[in-house]
Amino acid sequence: MSATSVLYDTPGVRAKRRNIIYTIVFLVVLALAAWWVLAVMAEKQQLASEKWSPFVTDAKVWTTYLLPGLGETLRAAALAIVIALPLGALLGIGRLSDHAWIRVPVGAVVEFFRAIPVLLMMVFAAQLYTQYTDVSSDLRPLYAVVTGLVLYNASVMAEIVRAGILSLPRGQTDAAKAIGMRKGQTMSYVLLPQAVTAMLPALVSQLVVIVKDTALGGAILGFSELLSQGRTITANYGANTIATFAVIALIYIALNFLLTTLAGWLEQRLRQGKKSTGAVLTADDVQQASAPGRTPDGGGA
Amino acid sequence: MFDFLDSGQYDLLGAFWVTVQLTLYSAVGSLIWGTLLAGMRVSPVPLMRAFGTAYVNLVRNTPLTLVLVACSLGLGLTLGITLGGQDFKAMGFRLAVLGLVAYTGTFVCESLRSGINTVPVGQAEAARALGLSFFQVLTLIVLPQAFRSVVAPLANVLIALTKNTTVASAISVAEASALMKTMLENETSALFAVFAVFAFGFIVLTLPTGLILGWVSKRVAVKR
């Protein structure tokens, strides 16, 4: 915040008065907006207490719909990251290979899967499983979601791993060479262990993107995750659309806020840690490390 | 293998045109909304700062799918906000743009804020020494320089936005991924060909964006 606070002086008497006026004007605008929203909601009977109370009084909403939905969301996210991580590590190391016949194809694969929307891969995987495998129809959405997420996130992980290895000081490689280590030994005993620590914050941030992307499966492939439970709840509790979306959004926000906080805490710990080389990699660093147009994971879905 | 392209049954270009339109409208909207949010987040008024921070943290942690579905079912069907859309199709498109702007604006805001941090302290100090107000410092001195340094991050946001428009198929906007789903279900013999065509379409949309804006970012970057 140091650079932004220089945009204005410590307020004096007049500036303080002006700030108070701005505060009041902004408050009025916010209040008007809130009043309009509430008025529209009241008009459509979305404020009625019986539409909101089930989430507090009726434990069944949570045990039958929300919590199992959250469980499915977490299951898909966990499966995706567990499979994508080793795959991404392989791709990332492959991209750093000295041999062009490994480096170039791996690079093409990574860039391809990062350039196309994750939704396209999920829909394609769903159709592929329907046509060519005998995965039961209730497991198919989960498989499709995880496949789509793995394909996309493995290529993002590859970039994270690559940036993590490149973020280490050159002296690490030099020292490893000096004591006579081979390339594979340098990678597996010196570079990779340190890179994994350095990239932990970026990995946790990517988990937020994965959690958010699982909702795609609910909306399009009929995967019974948290968001898709909303439809069942509104059907059973009297069209409480607004209330349901508000509660589901809050669950997602709480979960992702937790992950973001964890990433920030890890980053701070690593920066202060004395044992590491001090190399830390955040999601922003990964974006900046690759040339524009090469890291389109800025938004996630 | 690619006969489905000639059958005249699918409006491939039309679907991609909807994707392009979604991207363009949302890009302009989220650039404006993101700039406003960034202005709020660095403003001297504590309430505006608090609102900006709260909005960005809440919306960024919500899945885009939820934002769009809430726009369609919540705003559109339940509250009857149609944004002047005459029929179901126009309404869906406009609500999709609204949702994409609300979501992407937070990423524009965060990119821009990091760009504001790259402007040297002396620039703002010199501007204040000349007696410029906060609004003048921000719009005349800091933001122009900040924008020039965030072309590359904004390009990444734009590419992510292009890919995110596919989520609009969740609220039945007839864009590329919705057509792909239909085609995959019909053209069972050409599964891989259909996927290849659509993947190619998105690569055609995203790759030049990255290359052109990457070149622009080098051209306009402030040399320090």
Cβ neighbours of residue A153 closer than 8 Å, sequence gap 6 or more = A80, A81, A84, A88, A206, A209, A210
Q: Are residues A54 and A68 in the same domain?
A: yes
Mean local confidence (pLDDT), A31-40 = 92
Q: Are residues A23 and A146 in the same domain?
A: no
Residue A221, in any domain of the structure: yes
Q: Is the pLDDT of residue A291 over 50?
A: no
Residue A148, in any domain of the structure: yes
Residue A249, in any domain of the structure: yes
Residue in A with minimal Cα distance to B186 = A127
Q: Are residues A12 and A141 in the same domain?
A: no
Q: Output the average pLDDT for chain B.
A: 91
Q: B61 and A216: CB-CB below 8 Å?
A: no
Residue in A with minimal Cα distance to B41 = A4
Range of the domain at A22: 2-43
Render pLDDT for B52-68 as a digit per residue (tens, 0 to 9). Answer: 999 999 999 999 999 99
Task: Give the ipTM of the model, two decimals please.
Answer: 0.90
How far is it, in rounded angstroms, from Cα A206 to Cα A108? 21
Render pLDDT for B164-201 as a digit per residue (tens, 0 to 9). Answer: 999 999 998 999 999 999 999 888 888 899 999 999 99
Q: B61 and A257: CB-CB below 8 Å?
A: yes
How far is it, in rounded angstroms, from Cα B73 to Cα B171? 8
Q: Are residues A29 and A90 in the same domain?
A: no
Q: Are residues A152 and A53 in the same domain?
A: yes
- Tell me the chain B residues in contact with residue A41 when contact means C-beta distances shorter than 8 Å: 79
Q: Which of residues 73-132 of B touch A (CB under 8 A)?
A: 73-74, 77-81, 103-104, 107, 111, 113-114, 116-117, 119, 121, 124-125, 128
User: Over pLDDT 70: what percentage of chain A?
Assistant: 91
- Tell me the chain A residues in contact with residue B210 when contact means C-beta distances shorter than 8 Å: 291-294, 296
What's the pLDDT band for A292 if we cut at 50, 70, 90? very low
Measured in angstroms, the CA of A199 and the nearest CA of chain B are apart by 20
Q: Are residues A22 and A73 in the same domain?
A: no
Render pLDDT for A188-230 as a digit per residue (tens, 0 to 9). Answer: 999 988 888 888 888 888 999 999 999 999 888 989 889 988 8
Measured in angstroms, the CA of B174 and the nearest CA of chain A are apart by 13
Q: B191 and A124: CB-CB below 8 Å?
A: yes
Mean local confidence (pLDDT), A174-182 = 94
Q: Are residues A163 and A30 in the same domain?
A: no
Q: What is the CATH number of the domain that holds A211?
A: 1.10.3720.10
- One-letter amino acid identity for A190? V
First-last CA distance in chain B: 54
Kindly state which CATH superfamily the domain B3-220 is placed in. Answer: MetI-like (1.10.3720.10)
- How many structural domains does chain A have? 2
Q: Output the average pLDDT for chain A.
A: 86
Measured in angstroms, the CA of B92 and the nearest CA of chain A are apart by 15
Is B198's Cβ below 8 Å from some Cβ in A? yes
Tokens of B119: 């402007």
Measured in angstroms, the CA of A124 and the nearest CA of chain B are apart by 7
Residue B70 is nearest to which of A46, A245, A295, comparing CB atoms? A245
